[in-house]
Amino acid sequence: MAAGCPPVPIALSGFDPLVRSRYIEYMSTRCALVSILTFLGCLILFSGCKPAAPVKQAAAFRPLQNGFGVVAKWVGVDSGPGASLFYKGTNETPVLVWRDIGTHGYPILYTNDIALLMADKPDEQGRLGGGALIAVQGTGPAMDISYDLLHLYSAKSNVDFSVLVRLAYEPRRLQQSDGEMSVTYLSFESGERTGRKFSITWEEVFSIMEDVKRTGRTNKITNTDILYLQKIYWSRQR
């Protein structure tokens, strides 16, 4: 019988040899299982002393470009998977800069340590669905420049900015083709199907970011402690 297993009880000595044989077989199997479970328990105990958490955390961070990366997460049954945007750069630990980068399918655009993306932005109740053009430099804070770019379009196209705001134009697309960036705003209230598409440059984005740094208001993403900056153009602006 396996080492460490109890001997055959004396009470069984008078039993049929077949009964004794089955008892011995049962106890041997039981002792073997106990030995295996004990070994696995020790293995788990000792492996728990290793720095497993940082390795797992590092593996969750997927680098993208220019120091930025994402961490995938589950948003919900209706929404499916999503991801959060982090900036690592030369830091040891990635820093969260925007919680929901969205599933719009549009690329994140980069230059140096700046990222521009079409992201999800929760409303005051924390519900997702609305999009925002987010610019962030390094560890942030990020900036919502959706209205700033719409204001830029109004100046370029000689369209009254207040009319665009009243018709609730929102950013819907961010694209880059042959080195040229473009954004598209759409308004369901206007009845337009194609929206307002216009080109932008990094210089214009830089200028807007500098202005938002000086004059923007610090906000928090709903139900989080993540800060972002936004310039306020009208009282009911979200």
- Which DSSP string corresponds to 22-62? HHHHHHHHHHHHHHHHHHHHHHHHHHTTS-HHHHHHHHHEE
For the cut 70, the answer to whether the pLDDT of residue 26 exceeds it is: no
**What proportion of the chain, given as a percentage, has pLDDT over 70?**
66
Q: How far apart are CA 180 and CA 199, in angstroms?
A: 7
Domain ranges of the chain: 10-47, 58-230
What does the mean pLDDT of the chain come to? 77
* pLDDT score recorded for residue 23: 46
- Using an 8 Å Cβ cutoff, are 1 and 24 in contact? yes
For the cut 50, the answer to whether the pLDDT of residue 171 exceeds it is: yes
- Using an 8 Å Cβ cutoff, are 106 and 174 in contact? yes
Beta bridge partners of 201: none
* Those residues with Cβ within 8 angstroms of residue 119's Cβ, 6 or more apart along the chain or in another chain: 85, 98, 100, 101, 102, 131, 132, 133, 134
Does the predicted TM-score (pTM) go above 0.75? no
When pLDDT is averaged across residues 224-236 and rounded to a whole number, the result is 85
Nearest CA-CA partner of 137 in 198, 95, 183? 95
When pLDDT is averaged across residues 186-191 and rounded to a whole number, the result is 80
